[in-house]
Amino acid sequence: MATLGTLYLALAPHNVSHAFAGIEYVQMGIVALLAVGAFALPRFNQAASAATPVVDA
């Protein structure tokens, strides 16, 4: 968040609307990367985990 704010403040003196649009594009890119990362996580099967015994130490 601080990095995006710093980037916005660096771009804002030149053109506020372009700075805001640029930051929004960066945020959308971050969200897209997080969505791809979440989709790439392994799927857990409830049936397989129920068959595995739990051992307490």
For 41-51, what is the mean pLDDT?
Answer: 70
Query: Where exactly are the structural domains of the chain?
Result: 13-39
Mean pLDDT of all residues belonging to the chain: 85
- pTM, rounded to two decimals: 0.64
Per-residue pLDDT reduced to its tens digit, 10-24: 888 888 888 889 899
For 26-44, what is the mean pLDDT?
Answer: 92
Angstrom distance (rounded) from CA 19 to CA 31: 19
Q: How far is CA 12 from CA 15, 16, 26, 44, in A?
A: 5, 5, 15, 46
For 21-39, what is the mean pLDDT?
Answer: 94
For 24-53, what is the mean pLDDT?
Answer: 84
Distance from the Cα of residue 52 to its chain's centroid: 32
